[in-house]
Amino acid sequence: MAGRTARLVLLAGAAALASGSQGDREPVYRDCVHRCEERNCSGGALRHFRSRQPIYMSLAGWTCQDDCKYECMWVTVGLYIKEGHKVPQFHGKVSLNAWFWSTVFHTKDTDLTEKMDYFCASTVILHSIYLCCVRTVGLQHPAVASAFRALLLLLLTAHVSYLSLVRFDYGYNLAANVAIGLVNVVWWLAWCLRNRRRLPHVRKCMVVVLLLQGLSLLELLDFPPFFWVLDAHAIWHISTIPVHVLFFSFLEDDSLYLLKESEAKFKLD
């Protein structure tokens, strides 16, 4: 079942990538950007743009070229709607989110901020796997957890090095994150199912795992933004906020349980 799910997720992801940046490949869009940059991004026109640019946009590094891309995106969207076509996605991302590097990335899309956003996302998943290892194995066998931590750090280093030094491959990055995400989900869920009767608070963890798995579909099933503001990626980030609150509640309950268990063993000794 897990193998079939993985294949479906990977296929869905591949399909999303295939058409993920259709808008910015459109000849109408590219021609619009070219003409806009020629007209507005040099000489007196550029000085005029900078003089009327709000200070917050200047601090964010918003350039004349960025402004042309933004304006031409809406021109292209208007043409798509007028012709009755589905609104395309531009540059592979349009969203709002609360995490630091994602916030930086979506404030100013550069090579560096994009990489930091992607790398930090992979780090979060690997950290969750490590946390699961510590909870399920490491408490009884600390050496195993330490060795596993070293392995995860090696994998992360190899992943980041490949994407930074060899080739920034979106397809590979998606496949890698889906793979480690499935390991994370299966491992946590297996532990939860095995301990759900003995530890009532484990149900919170089960709910978190299932919700995150369901919400991840928002990352794969892209659609035009609601009110031209909230797209699937933004809704995913907003939806994960209460999920993380619930996960913290589980961690708190589990820590209290482990503390009581440790005190009980100390008294027996």
Q: Quick one: pLDDT band at residue 239, thresholds 50, 70, 90?
A: confident
Q: Is the pLDDT higher at 139 or at 199?
A: 199
Domain coordinates in residue numbering, the chain: 25-88, 93-268
- Look up tokens 């809406």; give the residue: 74
pLDDT tens-place string over residues 123-177 = 888 988 988 998 999 778 888 888 898 999 999 999 999 999 999 898 898 899 8
Q: Which of 7-11, 58-62, 65-69, 237-241 shows the lowest mean pLDDT across its residues?
A: 7-11
Is residue 188 within 8 A of residue 251, CB to CB? The reply is no
Return the pLDDT at 24. 72
* Whole-number pLDDT of residue 266: 55
Q: Would you state the pLDDT for residue 60?
A: 63
- Residues 80, 53 contacting (CB under 8 angstroms): no
pLDDT band at 82 (very low <50, low <70, confident <90, very high): confident
| pLDDT score of 186 more than 90 | yes
Predicted local distance difference test score (pLDDT) of residue 233: 72
Q: How many CB atoms lie within 10 A of CB 39?
A: 10
Say yes or no to pLDDT of 100 above 80: no
Helices 27-40/64-82 angle, 10° precision: 140
pLDDT at 2: 41
Looking at mean pLDDT, say which of 71-75, 78-82, 208-212 comes out highest.
208-212
The Cα–Cα gap between 187 and 184 comes to: 5
pLDDT bracket for residue 20 (50, 70, 90): very low
Q: Report pLDDT digits (tens) over 207-226.
A: 999 998 888 777 777 777 77
Position 88 confidence tier, pLDDT thresholds 50, 70, 90: low
Query: Whole-angstrom Cα distance, residue 266 to residue 211?
Result: 37
CA distances from 248 to 105, 132, 242, 245 (A): 26, 14, 10, 5
Q: Kindly indicate the confidence band of residue 16, based on its pLDDT and cuts at 50, 70 and 90.
A: very low
Higher pLDDT, 216 or 67: 67
Distance CA 181, CA 73 (A): 33
Distance of CA 23 to CAs 108, 133, 226, 228, 231, Å? 19, 42, 17, 15, 15
pLDDT above 70: percentage of residues in the chain: 80
What pLDDT is attached to residue 96?
A: 39
Q: Are 114 and 105 in contact (CB under 8 A)?
A: yes
